[in-house]
Amino acid sequence: MSDSVFGQEKRYSFEKGLMGSPFKLVVYAANDSIAELAAAKAFGRVEELNEIMSDYRDGSEINRLSAQSGSGKWVPVSKDLFEILDISLSVSKKTKGAFDVTLGPVVQMWRHATRKGIFPAQEEIAAAMQKTGYSKMKLNRKASSVLLTQKGMRLDIGGLGKGFAAEEAIKEVKKLGITSAMMDAGGKIVLTNPPPGTDGWNINISNGSDSLKALKLSNISLATSGPTYRYMEYNGVRYSHIVDPVTGIGLLFHVRTTAICPNGTISDALATAFSVAGIEKTKKMVRKFPGTTVWLVERKGDRVAEWNTIKQ
């Protein structure tokens, strides 16, 4: 737990496996009980969100909503679910659909193919693709309701859920009067004020191979999307777990994308979206997101191409 002392505040670090990833919380607090309360509140909030948004649980609110797709009914949803879908839709529009929360049927198909090591048939891809498209998801803020216009739709917040959870967890920590905190939700990170007596949190980001950037950051968020154990190898070709909404197939040339921006949910969504868009399209798209910097690495044949606007 506490491993260093500065002034009256001590550094505390907590870790817990949540949403299929290690979540790490660091806080500077006056005493053990405040720090432990912060961890309980922060992780408790993530668990609460996971209950709502997990696509692995049949009874989760998001899966119950998807089950009503095509019924013609506006379904009232919780504030949390509405907010994340609202942010998703706005990012979809600004990224011309590179980010798409309605890709559930394709993500499911892809996950299944990865597990079995069998590349999906063209008809299977077409059938799944037919049930996707963010314009088929309608939102009504006043009534906090969602309409999924086509039967068989399935929402998947995997591309921004951890960033949202990190952002929400940090809100809980702030409520306790803690001003220096970091939540790392499996590579989606939200930072508040620097640790006492320093000018920033030490964050290392890498392009996946040789170069590494050591940054000092505060009051900002960042997210990295990159190859995990979740990829598919078929005929010697690697496909990412991030799906191209145009082809319905995992990305081929994606190596790693880091996005830094003021909001944790958006930085998570953008790391995924810019992975799909690639360097050239991202150069234009990023202008729609004020205060955002990125580092993109993609494979071009045998070469690796990079574009980096992150300041040291």
Structure tokens at 243: 């799906």
How far is Cα 182 from Cα 218, in angstroms, rounded to an integer? Answer: 9
Distances (CA, A) of 137 to 75, 100, 115: 11, 10, 29
CB of 109 to ligand AMP, least distance (A): 12
Residue 177 CB, shortest distance to ligand AMP, in Å, is 31
Q: By rule CB under 5 A, what count of residues binds Mg ion?
A: 4
Q: How far is the CB of 188 from Mg ion (least distance, A)?
A: 7
Q: Which does 65 bind (CB under 5 to 8 A by kind): Mg ion, ligand AMP, none?
A: none
Smallest CA-to-CA distance from 183 within 151, 223, 152 is with: 223
Cα atoms found within 13 Å of the Cα of residue 261, Cβ hemisphere only: 24
Residue 268 is a binding residue for Mg ion (CB under 5 A): yes
Show the CA angle centred on residue 284, arms to residues 262 and 293, nearest 5°: 30
CA distance 44 to 290: 31
What backbone torsions phi and psi does residue 186 show, to the nearest 5 degrees?
55, 45
Give the CB-nearest residue to ligand AMP.
158
| Site membership for Mg ion, residue 159 (CB under 5 A) | yes
Q: What, of Mg ion, ligand AMP, none, does residue 260 touch, CB below 5 to 8 Å by kind?
A: none
Closest approach of ligand AMP to the CB of residue 103, in Å: 5
156 lies in the binding site for Mg ion (CB under 5 A): no
Residue 243 binds what, of ligand AMP, Mg ion, none (CB under 5 to 8 Å, by partner type)? Answer: ligand AMP
Q: Given the rule CB under 5 A, which residues bind Mg ion?
A: 159, 268, 271-272
